[in-house]
Amino acid sequence: MIRTSSLRNGSFIERSLLAAVSFIKEATLFEEYASRQGFMQGLAPGIKILTIFLLILTAVILKDLALIGLLYGLCLALALFSEIPITFFLLRTLIFIPLFSLFIAIPAIFSSVSPGQVLRQIHIFGITGMITSQGCQSAALLVARITTTVSLAVLVSLTTKHAELLKSLRHFGVPQIFVMTVSMCYRYLYLFAVMVENICGAIKSRVGIVIPHKRGQKFVAWNIANIWSRTNQMSEEVYRAMLSRGYTGEPRSLQRIKKNE
């Protein structure tokens, strides 16, 4: 797997492009933990998803901060028993938390959203906001909930192979067309990442090591357009490939999926 650190030389644009690419590749390809012999990996995917789903539901319903904390502890313990390094796990989940929190938790602390006892007044651009203790409490609760549910979701996705995950979605009555679309998006994302990487490689080998900053911007813009049209053409070709093997717009799936014969 290509790591960003190995791309130290090269322009800023190139570096951030490749960093994004390697993140996509890693996110779509990373199945190392899914094939380890841990606790979660040993569970049947259907049972695992159902259990995690119930735990997520519990986290959403619970109103007590301490109980949610307990649930979070349970999640970390499960990660530990599944041989996932705890720092890696925390990093993976904590990336998402600020994003979610910013949009949901911050507005909640103000009196207009959560009326109650005023703790402090703040003035931003002439607007006076009052922070309430109820607001703070519900914000804390929200952050705790988000952290716990995201962690649980990341736990399943890390310990289950993607193909299995998609297959079990089908068992829960998620329409096949939806699952198929998701898995195809997933595949495009991967091909897209590989394509960007190859184009960068090709340019680099022709132009030299560094793409000048100014030209770099142009090159990125041109290539994004190019990649778009390529991806578009590819989806047309894939559709033809499906037609060739009898697809008529009505997906069917294999029953009795036998494993490890």
Residue 4 CB partners (closer than 8 Å, separation 6+): 15, 18, 19, 22
Q: Under the criterion CB under 8 A, does residue 171 sit at the interface with another protein?
A: no
How many whole angstroms separate alpha carbon 48 and alpha carbon 209? 47
Size of interface with another protein, in residues (CB under 8 A): 31
Across the strands, what pairs with 130?
121
CB of 146 to another protein, least distance (A): 29
Q: Under the criterion CB under 8 A, does residue 163 sit at the interface with another protein?
A: yes
Rounded to 5°, the CA angle 149-52-74 comes to: 70
Q: Are 129 and 106 in contact (CB under 8 A)?
A: no
Q: Under the criterion CB under 8 A, does residue 16 sit at the interface with another protein?
A: no
Between 22 and 51, how does the x/- string for binding to another protein read (CB under 8 A)? -------x----------------------
Scan residues 177-206 and list those touching another protein (CB under 8 A): 183-184, 187, 190-191
CB of 186 to another protein, least distance (A): 8
Nearer to another protein, 48 or 167 (CB): 167
DSSP, collapsed to helix, strand or coil, labels residue 197 as: helix
Considering only CA atoms, give the Rg of the chain.
23
How many whole angstroms separate alpha carbon 157 and alpha carbon 96? 14
CB of 165 to another protein, least distance (A): 9
**What does the binding site for another protein look like in residue numbers (CB under 8 A)?**
29, 162-163, 166-167, 183-184, 187, 190-191, 234, 237-238, 240-248, 252-257, 259-261
